[in-house]
Amino acid sequence: MTQINENYLKLKAGYLFPEIGRRVKAYSDANQNAKIIRLGIGDVTLPLAPTIVNAMVDAAKEMGSAGGFHGYGPEQGYSFLIQKIIAHDYTARGVQIAEDEVFVSDGSKCDCGNIQEIFSLDSKIAVVDPVYPVYVDTNVMAGRTGEVGPDGRYANIIYMPATEENNFEPDFPKEKPDIIYLCYPNNPTGMVATKARLTEWVNFAKKIGSIILYDSAYESFIQDPEIPKSIYEIPGAKEVAMEFRSFSKTAGFTGTRCAYLVIPKDLKGKTKGGEEISFNSLWNRRHTTKFNGVSYVTQKGAEAVFSTQGQLEIKEQISYYMENAKLIREGLVKAGYTVFGGMNAPYIWLKTPRGLKSWDFFDELLGTAQVVGTPGSGFGPAGEGYFRLSAFGKREDVISAIERIQKM
């Protein structure tokens, strides 16, 4: 009989969000008249902006003509989109990025999960705790970790706790990692990294010879002009960091699927024999082997995001979600909760009341207020005793959810 990849057996019982779905379904089946408000999974609720829709409709019509039909496109992405990405997200910030350093994909989740393939299995990873589960789980699947311990931590992973005690700003690891996962604005805590702090991370990575995998999927929600939106705003970052970006939350592409990954050619690793190899070339080989590219129609929609009208429309949507975040944050504070985040990110991170465990609070919130959030422990051991609410709901649902929570 064919053998399985036993690394999958190391994974905890279930991926966080399917487990939430399972519990909500069980409650809904037993309480069919309950009006459940979902502020858990970070899925957007506003429709695609008109300018994006029009661009995709035009592209679809183009595909229906003999002269405008597009078959296989470049796996790395069409130049028309990459040029707009570079001009808007990098050149405008004084950062020089070449076209062949940008790789368009179908989502940052995929990129964050797949990127580990170009690193040695001997590489040791460091993650902020709490953390987006994909960073950890995909390394477990690959065989880069040991078994999970009674404390919920996997052997051979360096955990960097981010808690109220250190203002959710993890200390540099004492043990040397090869790969450091950073996410700012942070999912799940909603916290951001200052330019000074990011500079320290870049210098730290340079000093010890590590690579930073920088997930900035929520950069468009930053309200403070002093907070960097790209790690490449930090001098020297192109020598130590890759950056993951997404249209999912920025422009509502959670169901449309489009993102991109920047890997500077200056970013290099070594073979066992000491030869320096560009990670850009490795990812290009992986990307063109295992990925057929994002559809032409989708990329034309993504291009429209950078138009003058497209920018106005998506900024209006971002403002809508950030107003939701403000309502949730202020409503929870009024109800007596200890609250973090929600000022430069669409996530609110709250301390569970009465010392409740995260999943116990999940069940209480669902059972009493019919509101769904995300248990902090699902993001890692340091998330125990915390809870995440998302600002991506509809305004009327957000208002109703806070009213219900205030009555608990």
pLDDT, mean of each 10-residue run, the chain (408 residues): 96 78 92 93 93 98 97 98 98 97 97 98 97 95 95 96 95 97 97 98 98 98 97 98 97 98 97 97 98 98 98 98 98 98 97 96 96 95 96 97 96
Q: What global pTM score does this model have?
A: 0.96
In whole angstroms, what is the distance from residue 340 CA to residue 321 CA?
Answer: 16
In whole angstroms, what is the distance from residue 336 CA to residue 408 CA?
Answer: 11
Residues in binding site: 15, 42, 72, 108-109, 132, 187, 218, 246-248, 257, 292, 388
Two tokens, residue 165:
């005690």
Q: Where are the domains of the chain?
A: 11-47+310-406, 53-307
Residues in binding site for substrate: 15, 42, 109, 132, 187, 292, 388
Q: Which pairs count as long-range contacts for 170-176, CB under 8 Å and 24+ apart, including other chains?
A: 170/128, 170/129, 172/200, 172/201, 172/204, 173/126, 175/124, 175/126, 176/124, 176/208, 176/210
Half-sphere exposure of 42 (CA within 13 A, CB side): 23
* Residue 299 DSSP SS3: helix
Q: In this predicted structure, what is the pLDDT of residue 13? A: 65
- CATH of range 11-47+310-406; options 3.40.50.720, 3.40.50.10790, 3.90.1150.10, 2.40.30.10: 3.90.1150.10
Residue 333 in contact with residue 351, Cβ under 8 Å?
A: no
Place of tokens 């477990």: 140
Q: Per CATH, the architecture of 53-307 is what?
A: 3-Layer(aba) Sandwich (3.40)
Q: In this predicted structure, what is the pLDDT of residue 41? A: 77
Residues in binding site for pyridoxal 5'-phosphate: 72, 108-109, 132, 187, 218, 246-248, 257, 292
